[in-house]
Amino acid sequence: MVCLVSRTGRHLQRYNENGRRLVVGCIPYRFKREEIGKAINNQVEVLVISSQKGQHMMFPKGGWELDESLIEAACRESHEEAGVLGNVEDELGKWRFKSKSHGIYHEGYMFPLFVTEQLDLWPEQNVRKRIWMNLAEAREVCKHWWMKEALDRFVNRLSSVELVEKTFQLNL
């Protein structure tokens, strides 16, 4: 069963030793299978969401709370904000940035999330839009510089994996 209510408040919020709020986010992705003639192309798509006020696009992210692991927080935020479930993969990195809306510093962790299920109902469906995009489109519309860097790292990781797979296939 999936909860249809987002967590609220900051009473369980984690902060680092310097007082920075700890946040965690995901880059939800899937492979879109396309048949081009006799060839099959698996294009990567990522899911971006609107801010709560609907003015900017970004990847799902939010506070890492005391009663959950980093991975659990990543899964929760992807579910609450984007309505997707999936498998969290190895961390893309950690960024330090200043919140423009609150004027405080954060430390953010980002992960790829391979989407296994897209829900029809999710906690923030009435305050957010979600859109699947190709990698270039997502990078163009994403508001946050640090999320763009995370996307670049994700793309580099995908390129490395594809190169290894092609090398392996050639050696068969």
pLDDT at 102: 65
Domains in the chain, start-ordered, CATH in brackets?
21-170 (3.90.79.10)
Phi-psi region of 140 (alpha: psi -120 to 50; beta: other; left: phi over 0): alpha
pLDDT digits (tens, 9 = 90+) for 106-146: 899 999 999 999 999 999 999 999 999 999 999 999 999 99
* pTM, full prediction: 0.84
Q: Which helix (H) or strand (E) holds 140?
A: helix 135-141
pLDDT in tens, 76-88: 999 999 999 999 9
User: Residue 166 pLDDT > 80, yes or no?
Assistant: no
